[in-house]
Amino acid sequence: MAIKVQIPTPMRDQAGGKAEVDVTGSTVKAALDDLLRQHPGLTAKLFDNGKLRPYINVFLNDEDIRYLDEMDTKVTDGVILALIPAVAGG
Amino acid sequence: MTDTNPLERYSRQMRFPGMGKAGQEKLLASRVTLCGCGALGTVLANVLVRAGVGFVRVVDRDFVEPSNLQRQVLFDESDVTNNLPKAEAAAVKLRQINSSVTIEPVVADINRTNIEDFCAGADLILDGSDNFEIRYLINDVAFKHNKPWVYGGAVGSQGMTMTIIPGETPCLRCVFEAAPAPGETGTCETAGVLAPAVNIVASYQATEALKLLSGNKAAVNKELLILDVWENTNRRVKVAPLAGRKGQCPCCAKRNFEWLDGAHGTQTTSLCGRNAVQVSQRAKGKLDFAYLASVLKQSGEVSYNKFLLKFQLVENGDPYEFTVFEDGRAIIKGTDQPDKARTLYAKYVGH
């Protein structure tokens, strides 16, 4: 079993069309590093100079990682990491 | 319509235990400012006016176009034919729906110089807009003047909404620290939108409005609601705590109202004699021309080099040409009206 990262619709072209990607790692940062290793095209979508873009939130099983230990938050197999960008239209 | 009992029209709503006669009377005495009257805004206005909210100020800068009719529920073909501003067209329909409440249409481009006037006297501010510039302005006004507001956004099949109450919930900047740079997130023009996605988001927003205005603050949803009607997901996520980011939030913790003060956002300059307007973007960051071109090619002709991107389109028979620079600045040819240029920029380059 792996960690599942949910990819938002506007970024799926850079993730081979996948809605979910299986990754490994013991922290949120390590898990996202693995995601970027598998799909380097996502790097510019998610990060700017090594920092997560400020309009994208990361939720670990529906909890904002800012509630937890941010990028150092521990993750284990079976958890879901959701990347949620702001929705602008209306 | 003549009612012997003016409350009779609200009888089914009053029978709902959470509302009752007391809640209804609060709605009738309440005032709302609706910022934007497109897809979200028309649904919001429709619900609030039918529910008997006593005063609704509807602010919108745009005109009704054929591509609006798929989802903007208060408009019809005659509004397009008559080239009516959305705020005015909405007011006509809303007065037919409920003549006992007051509708105040305002045809204006909401910006940092006028938003405080538009929100003066309101018990609640509702987000019916399509861009983050207006949302951060609403957020600043809400915290400066201690008024609740309800964020809503929708694009494609996705949507999200959050109720923001100064002193009780995190603010928009706690959740989304900065606006997406131009071109980085989809707009309804570039990514499309399904009517049910917007209707559902606006219906959640309207429900939150009814709770707040009828004195039922305890029932408010204090989490961020995220849904996708195509992928069948609907989740509520816990957002950062009050004055999130460990007390560092510039708006709700430090009370620096940067959008209202003009530190962020767009500014427009008419380029005299050129039938063109320059739209400048204060946020830092470089545009990804390859990505923006891939999105814009669905709407018109696009070409780009290392320095600039050209985008030509025809909208309602009028040709426009965008020259977009790496820093987000754009010169839009085909209009000398700053409002029109700002609208075009928000639609195609996005924010």
CATH code, domain carrying B82 = 3.40.50.720
Strands (E) in B193-249, as ranges, are: 224-228, 233-237
Would you say residue B84 lies in a domain? Answer: yes
**What total number of domains does chain A contain?**
1
Reported as a single tens digit per residue, the pLDDT across B284-322 is: 667 889 989 998 999 999 999 888 899 999 998 999 999
- Alpha-carbon distances of B200 from A49, B37, B74, B105, B232, rounded to whole Å: 37, 16, 16, 24, 13
- Output the pLDDT for position B272: 67
Nearest CA in chain B to A14: B291
Best to test chain A binding among B42, B161, B238, B288 (most A CBs inside 10 Å):
B238
Does residue A81 have a pLDDT over 80? yes
Amino acid residing at B11 = S
Q: Determine what percent of chain A is predicted with pLDDT higher than 70.
A: 99
Residues B335, B197, single domain; the answer is: no
Would you say residue A90 lies in a domain? Answer: no
Contacts of A12 (CB under 8 A, 6+ apart): A18, A19
**What total number of domains does chain B contain?**
2
Nearest CA in chain A to B226: A84
- Output the pLDDT for position B346: 86
- Output the pLDDT for position B62: 87
Please give the structure tokens belonging to residue B238: 């816990």
Residues B205, B279, single domain; the answer is: no
Would you say residue B181 lies in a domain? Answer: yes
Residues B91, B16, single domain; the answer is: yes
Given an 8 Å threshold on Cβ–Cβ distance, is B186 in contact with A10? Answer: yes
Residues B241, B278, single domain; the answer is: no
- Alpha-carbon distances of B309 from A20, B278, B289, B292, B321, rounded to whole Å: 33, 14, 7, 9, 10
The angle at the Cα of B148, spanning B340 to B239, to the nearest 5 degrees, equals 95
Dist CA B351 CA B345 (whole Å): 8
Would you say residue A13 lies in a domain? Answer: yes
- Output the pLDDT for position B243: 53
Residues B87, B125, single domain; the answer is: yes
- Output the pLDDT for position B286: 78
Residues B80, B146, single domain; the answer is: yes
B240: nearest CB among A66, A84, A86: A66
Reported as a single tens digit per residue, the pLDDT across A30-44 is: 999 999 999 999 999
Given an 8 Å threshold on Cβ–Cβ distance, is B159 in contact with A48? Answer: no
Residues B211, B305, single domain; the answer is: no
Would you say residue B256 lies in a domain? Answer: no
Please give the structure tokens belonging to residue B210: 């009814």
Average the pLDDT over A4-16 and give the result: 93
A66: nearest CB among B185, B226, B245: B245
Chain B contact set for A90 (CB, 8 A): 36, 38-41, 127-130, 152-154, 188, 198, 201
> Within 13 Å, how many C-alpha atoms sit on residue B233's CB side?
18
Chain B contact set for A88 (CB, 8 A): 130-132, 153, 155, 180, 185-187, 350-351
User: Whole-prediction pTM value?
Assistant: 0.86
- Output the pLDDT for position A17: 95
Domain span at residue A72 reads: 3-85
Q: What is the SS3 string spanning A31-60?
A: HHHHHHHHCHHHHHHHEECCEECCCEEEEE
Contacts of B330 (CB under 8 A, 6+ apart): B278, B279, B322, B323, B324, B345, B349
CATH code assigned at A18? 3.10.20.30
* ipTM of the complex in this document: 0.89
**Within chain B, which residues score under 50 in pLDDT?**
none
A-B contacts (CB, under 8 Å)? 99
Domain span at residue B207 reads: 8-247
